[in-house]
Structure 1
Amino acid sequence: MRPLISRPSGNITVMPVIYSSIRFDATNLLASCLGKNVGIPVKRLDMLDSIKSSLYKSPDWEYEKEWRLINTNNILDSHPHLKYAPVGIYYGAQISDINKKILRRIAFEKGLAEFEMYIDKSSSDYEMKIRPLSFK
């Protein structure tokens, strides 16, 4: 007789989903993935961030009481991969001069398009506008 539930093989771990109204902040994970794709090393501050990002879900789904199978094989040595590399940078309206200078140099070296976000002060709405930047 076969068991109804089989034990996960290898380095597969069963973990409960975390239902939270606060989203997991995967900013550093995304930055390190994108950096890797364009050849710029970005230090990962949390080596378990890829696992954590897989476990968070809105409390709207809490009724599911979901568990997930997570492959922990070489988790500390591996790095998540994105299939896409960035093609452009959008500078926020309040970016600091130093950060913009650093990113502009990277954009030039990598051939990335650049865009600037701004608020049209002559307009009555608060809508963000976008304008392309050229290399100077």
Structure 2
Amino acid sequence: MIIDDPAVKAEVERVFATYEAALVSNDVATLERLFHDDPRTIRYGAAENLYGMDAIRAFRRARPAQGLARALEGTVITTFGRDCAVAMTLFRREGAPGRVGRQSQTWLRFPDGWKVVAAHVSVIDDAPDEGASRP
């Protein structure tokens, strides 16, 4: 298995950037398109546990469109073979000083493109971890 094939990594970096642009602009149609439409798709959010695309779709459609801007840092995208990738990033929001968000996504390639099959978002106090390194 090839890890981080440059062509595959570039594909996932592009779709990750598309996802991020859709997220901060509240482009719900694109966000829905980028998640695998399946009852086994999971998204653990900062305040919700969503099992299946129907729950994810309902959350996205009901979420307020304000306060979505954020700055990413330490983004790491790793590809495994041609059809699997993980994307990990930290994010900060202007309205949440002293807090840092963490986002992880598992992406799989389907016939109609790359899709998130599992995601986790959490927010913690931004305190340096003893012995931990940051990207």
TM-score scaled by length of structure 1: 0.21
Higher percent of residues as strand: 2
Instruction: State which structure, 1 or 2, has the greater radius of gyration over its C-alpha atoms.
Output: 1
